[in-house]
Amino acid sequence: MTKALPETLPRHVQVQQRIQAMLRRAEFVPGDRIPSERELAEQLGISRMTVRRAVDHLVKMGVLERDSTAGTRVSQPKVQRVLGEERLNSLTQMVAATGGVPGGYVLSFEKTAATELLSEQLKVALSTPLVKIKRVRLVDHVPFCVETSILPAEAFPGLSVDDVDGDHSLYQILEQRYGLEVGLGESTISVAQARMDEATILRLPATASVLVFRSTVRDRQDRPFEYLYSVNHPDLVTFSFNAHK
């Protein structure tokens, strides 16, 4: 017996969330064909028009893709974040490398002070002035991550919100204006439940899991200059690691 859909959200949004939950089950991988709109309508006990509206939205999000001969399939991830290179590339470069159109917008650009954690990670004294930049990153106009960069303010005087809005690369600005040579960093990847604001931005269900990437990025002289916290859409982003001898 099909479980009734909750009535707290519009029907097509409920269907979209059910399809997304279905896609995250282990048997679905990129390239797999999903059930037809007729089959989904029968499984959920709703109209094909409502299913079509939900599927249309998932196609626009890049989660699904339509093929005129093979039906609707699970899309390949849109962004591949490559770790372990000799230098850490910017997300703008990574999106472009996979054939996508990079973009973004700034959620906040503000001054803050070093907490105990940030003091340890950035090797600065407690309460040192920092710049905190929170951005939404886009691939083909679709949001795929919410990313926060925290930098020592003294090291980058004059850095402004206009420098990092749109498809501008923060690392390119730091290299060209301040002579910084980006190196590598110490990074971790984990799975967590999205906060409500993050889920809304990434167009995910309220209880969805996300990929959380944290990194303390260093320059070529092994000096930390950025603490990075990134919340990534689980259907649009993959992480890979290249080991160098």
pLDDT in tens, 9-32: 677 778 887 887 777 665 677 778
| 2 in a structural domain | no
Instruction: Determine how many CB atoms are found less than 10 A away from the CB of residue 194.
Output: 22
Is residue 47 located within the same domain as residue 129? no
Do 234 and 180 share a structural domain? yes
* 119 and 194 housed in the same domain: yes
Mean pLDDT of 50-62: 84
* Count of domains forming the chain: 2
- Report pLDDT for 176: 92
| Segment 217-234, tens digit of pLDDT | 999 999 999 999 999 998
Task: Tell how many helices (H) and how many strands (E) occur in the chain.
Answer: 8, 10
Look at residue 60 and tell me if it is in a domain: yes
Over 90: is that where the pLDDT of 95 sits?
Answer: no
Residue 96 reports pLDDT greater than 80:
no
**Residue 4 forms part of a structural domain:** no
> Which pLDDT does position 2 carry in this prediction?
41
The conformation of residue 3, written as its DSSP 8-state character, comes to: P
Flag whether 84 is in a domain: yes
- Of the three residues 28, 55, 74, the one that is the final residue of a domain is 74
Asked whether residue 74 carries a pLDDT value surpassing 60, the answer given is yes
**CA 39 to each of CA 67, 69, 184: distance values in angstroms, whole numbers, following the listed order:** 17, 17, 48
Same domain as 184, residue 123: yes
> Any residues with CB less than 8 A from the CB of 27 and at least 6 apart, and which?
none
Same domain? For 202 and 97 the reply is yes
The answer on 146 and 52 residing in a single domain is: no
Type of residue at 143: P
Percent of the chain exceeding pLDDT 90 equals 41
CB atoms within 10 A of CB 218: 18
In a domain, 5, yes or no: no
**Domain shared by 97 and 70, yes or no:** no
What six digits make up the tokens of 215? Answer: 């990194």
Is the full-model pTM beyond 0.75? no
**Residue 126 within a domain:** yes
- Using the 3D structure, point to which of 74, 98, 114 is the last residue of a domain: 74
Residue 1 forms part of a structural domain: no
Which residue blocks in the chain are alpha helix, DSSP H? Answer: 11-23, 37-44, 48-61, 91-97, 116-122, 161-164, 170-178, 196-202
Pick the last residue of a domain from 74, 89, 121.
74
At 173 the three-state DSSP class reads helix
Give CA 168 to chain center in angstroms. 16
Same domain (yes/no): 59, 95: no
At 171-216, the pLDDT tens digits run 989 999 999 998 888 889 999 999 999 999 998 888 888 999 999 9
**Quick check: 46 pLDDT over 90?**
no
For residue 3, tell me if it sits in a domain. Answer: no
**Highest-scoring range by mean pLDDT, 11-20, 32-41, 92-101:** 32-41
The CATH number for 157's domain is: 3.40.1410.10
Assess whether 131 and 173 both reside in one domain. Answer: yes
| Whether 148 and 126 share a structural domain | yes
Residues 87 and 198 both lie in one domain: yes
Say yes or no: 139 and 218 in one domain. Answer: yes
What domain range includes position 124?
79-241
Confidence of residue 245 (pLDDT cuts 50, 70, 90): very low
